[in-house]
Amino acid sequence: MTTTIGLLHPGEMGSMVGAAARAGGARVLWVSGGRSAATRSRANAVGLEDARALSELVSQSDMILSICPPANALDIAREVASLGFGGTYVDGNAVSPATTRVIGDVVADGGARYVDGGIIGPPPRKSGTTRLYLSGRGARDVAALFSGSNLEAIPLDGPIGAASAMKVAYASWTKGSQALILAVRAFATHEGVDEALLEEWARSQPDLAKRSENAVASNVKKSWRFVGEMEEIAASFEAVGLPDEFHQACAEIYRRLAGWKDTPTPPSVPEVAKMLAP
């Protein structure tokens, strides 16, 4: 029997996760209302079916997979729960363990089974690049739906919150260190020592110049998405007694760069430096 998955919403990551689910044998639905032309194009390109309305998607789906900006995750869960969804709800968003447990309570109160998820890696266009970590009762059933696809689904032996904690731990370094290196280049540029810094890095830290350039090329156009993620990481650190200020600062760095949202051509390092430290 074919499993029907409702995907909310197929952005750059979500569309390729939907493609992976289709490769695993699932039927994948989405809702076009209110979505951009770029989202429509992505959904059509990977063969997702338009359910037209959220109520139709909910009524037809065995599983709902939420992949959206962290700030929207709870509202989407509430909307789905209000429609009486009784299947399996998977939240694959970059939220804190505390937030995912709140989402889980909302979903469970609405009558559905909740599975916590966290995605590590780029959109899964090829195998071996991207993992979907899952936790909670039903994690193994969800993982099985992606068997043989470009997305490796990994169930964790832990409760709801474990998959989100894995994502927080991983992204706290990757996106946190990228925010820091962008700030370092901005400071050095502002003080007129950027060229000297690059020369010193070439001697003592030869990978850092390239890492800073990669942070500009790959992350600046997606900075708007990382603001909420850094805030969720900060809350996660604070919840266990760790200082949260570093990742709050990372959120501010990404917030200042959000004007380059989804630009086809990334800015230069000097442009980023000027935006961060005018």
User: Rounded to 5, what percent of the chain is helix, strand, coil?
Assistant: 55, 15, 30
- What are the domain boundaries of the chain? 4-159, 165-276
Q: Can you spell out the DSSP letters for 202-267? A: HHH-TTHHHHHHHHHHHHGGGHHHHHHHHHHHHHHHHHTT---HHHHHHHHHHHHTGGGTT-SSPP
The pLDDT value given to residue 19 = 98
Q: What 3-state DSSP class applies to 47?
A: coil
pLDDT at residue 205 is higher than 80: yes
Q: What 3-state DSSP class applies to 268?
A: coil
Question: Hey, which CATH number is domain 4-159, 3.40.50.300, 1.20.1250.20, 1.10.1060.10, 3.40.50.720?
Answer: 3.40.50.720
Is the CA virtual torsion 59, 111, 4, 151 positive or negative? positive
Tokens found for residue 64: 């709902």
Confidence of residue 248 (pLDDT cuts 50, 70, 90): very high
pLDDT at residue 140 is higher than 90: yes
Identical fold for domains 4-159 and 165-276, yes or no, is no
The pLDDT value given to residue 264 = 85
Confidence of residue 97 (pLDDT cuts 50, 70, 90): very high
Predicted confidence (pLDDT) per residue in 212-235, tens digit: 999 999 999 999 999 999 999 999
The position carrying tokens 């959904």 is: 43
Predicted confidence (pLDDT) per residue in 50-76, tens digit: 999 999 999 999 999 999 999 999 999
Determine which helix (DSSP H) or strand (DSSP E) holds 30, and give its type and residue range: strand 27-30
The pLDDT value given to residue 16 = 97
Confidence of residue 1 (pLDDT cuts 50, 70, 90): confident
The pLDDT value given to residue 68 = 94
Name the superfamily (CATH) of residues 165-276. Answer: N-(1-d-carboxylethyl)-l-norvaline Dehydrogenase; domain 2 (1.10.1040.10)
Nearest CA among 151, 46, 31, 163 for reference residue 97: 163
Q: Can you spell out the DSSP letters for 165-197? A: HHHHHHHHHHHHHHHHHHHHHHHHHHTT-HHHH
Q: What is the mean pLDDT of the chain?
A: 96
pLDDT at residue 262 is higher than 80: no
Q: What is the pTM of this model?
A: 0.95
C-beta of residue 95 within 8 angstroms of C-beta of residue 73: yes
pLDDT at residue 149 is higher than 90: yes
Predicted confidence (pLDDT) per residue in 152-187, tens digit: 999 999 999 999 999 999 999 999 999 999 999 999
Tokens found for residue 246: 């570093």
DSSP code of 13? H
User: What mean pLDDT is predicted for residues 110-127?
Assistant: 97
Please name the amino acid found at residue 1.
Answer: M
The pLDDT value given to residue 263 = 84
